[in-house]
Amino acid sequence: MRIDNASGPWARTAKVCAVLSSLLIVSACSNDDAGDQQGDGMPPAAVVVERAKASDISVRQDYAGRARGAREVEVRARIQGILEERLYEEGQMVREGDSLFRIDPKPAEAALQGAKAQRQMAEADLRQAEREWNRISSLFQRNAVSERERDAAQSALELAQANLAVASAGISQAELDVGYTSVKAPISGVTSLEDFPEGSLISTGTLLTTIVQLDPIHVRFALPENDASIRRAAREGMRDAIEQEVAARLVLADGQEYELDGRIDFTASTLDPRTGTVSARAIFPNPENEIVPGQFVRVRVELQNFENAVAIPEKAVTQGPDGPVVFTVSDENTAQARQVELGPVTGGRQIILSGLEEGDLYIVSGLVNLRDGSRVEVTNPDDEGGAG
């Protein structure tokens, strides 16, 4: 009986061996191709670059604050009487010296007339005492009167002079009281609501209204202790901080920047232990009364100034084993890792204190898996000189 080798186990084994041989040949060819590609090197990484530029940079910080009037003055009555009339519209602007209220002047005017009459009496008594003194002193020189009579005449003269001084002071006080019947604005500003209507009987010291000075306007805010300007202010003292005329800008609630510059005119010399901040105050001109007391604003302060410094996008800085690194591109189109010293961040850009010079071409995008010495391909060659 004949065995069919074409369909037996030996035939199947031969087919499997043939398939495995083919796979080995294909794998060997693939390895040869890969070896050839590795020998040529990986394709260069596509990167986006910018040219480093140096300039003077100011580091600024915003702080939340509240606007307050430069001065808030309580207007009080300085004489007792009937409040006859209010001479201003509540909430309107008044100028220093404007009349605000009128108190019934008749009692004060009557008191002034009485004081004038008292002075006339004192003047008459003084004239009489002078005449008496002239007679007694003349008689005393001729030994016609005793020394006691002479002393009595002299005392009468001195008493009349004192009474005249008292009467004159009474007139001055009465004139002041007449002037106090017209209540005037001590400063220029915005008035509040009246506290007493016309016809009210008021006494000395009664609060009539409040005036808030709007020009200039004050903004009070708190500064963290780790800010450079605060460390300097705490070290040099409040007076030196004021003399430095630290500039400030004002940012309104809608994000718009106030057009007029201000300055920090007060910085506390001690830290608040509860908040760890330093109290500060900025003063801004407010001629159009655009800023009102109680308004929420932000104070923009210049903390540090860097001359001829380089600033790059934050994403261009990576972290290396020894610290922050910036990759630059050499003339041979290879990436070079540079250790850099970082300064503060301002406007979304990182200030580089050292390690990067003006004119260096540094990589901004394409930093993933990038290593020192890797070949790169710049994808924005036309923008190299003007980027940044």
Per-residue pLDDT of 228-287, as tens digits, reads 455 554 444 444 444 456 788 899 988 888 999 998 888 887 888 888 888 889 999 998
pLDDT of residue 273: 84
Distance between CA atoms of 318 and 337, rounded to whole angstroms? 10
Average pLDDT in the 20-41 region?
A: 44
Q: Among residues of the chain, what percentage have pLDDT more than 90?
A: 49
Mean pLDDT of the chain: 83
Asked if residue 388 has pLDDT above 80, the reply is no
pLDDT of residue 237: 45
Asked if residue 38 has pLDDT above 50, the reply is no
pLDDT of residue 275: 83
pLDDT of residue 130: 95
Q: Among residues of the chain, what percentage have pLDDT more than 70?
A: 82
pLDDT digits (tens, 9 = 90+) for 202-224: 999 999 999 999 989 999 998 88
pLDDT digits (tens, 9 = 90+) for 100-154: 999 999 999 999 999 999 999 999 999 999 999 999 999 999 988 899 999 999 9
Distance between CA atoms of 214 and 192, rounded to whole angstroms? 13
pLDDT digits (tens, 9 = 90+) for 73-94: 999 999 999 999 999 998 888 9
Local confidence band at 383 (pLDDT 50, 70, 90 cut-offs): low
Asked if residue 313 has pLDDT above 80, the reply is yes
pLDDT of residue 232: 56
SS3 sequence of the chain = CCCCHHHCHHHHHHHHHHHHHHHHHHHHHHHHHHHHHHHHCCCCEEEEEEECCEEEEEEEEEEEEEEEEEEEEEEECCCCEEEEEECCCCCCEECCCCEEEEECCHHHHHHHHHHHHHHHHHHHHHHHHHHHHHHHHHHHHCCCCCHHHHHHHHHHHHHHHHHHHHHHHHHHHHHHHHHHCEEECCCCEEECCCCCCCCCEECCCCEEEEEEEEEEEEEEEEEECCCHHHHHHHHHCHHHHHHCCCEEEEECCCCCECCCCEEEEEECCCCECCCCEEEEEEEECCCCCCCCCCCEEEEEEEEEEEEEEEEEEHHHEEEECCEEEEEEECCCCEEEEEECEEEEEECCEEEEEECCCCCCEEEEECCCCCCCCCEEEECCHHHCCCCC
pLDDT of residue 386: 43
Asked if residue 368 has pLDDT above 70, the reply is yes
176 in Cβ contact with 93 (< 8 Å): no
pLDDT of residue 227: 64
C-alpha atoms less than 13 angstroms from C-alpha of 67 in its C-beta half-sphere: 26
Greater confidence (32 vs 249) lies with: 249
pLDDT digits (tens, 9 = 90+) for 43-73: 888 999 999 999 988 888 888 999 999 899 9
Asked if residue 194 has pLDDT above 70, the reply is yes
Give all domains of the chain, ordered by start, each with its CATH number. Answer: 45-59+307-383 (2.40.420.20), 63-68+214-305 (2.40.30.170), 79-102+183-210 (2.40.50.100), 106-180 (1.10.287)
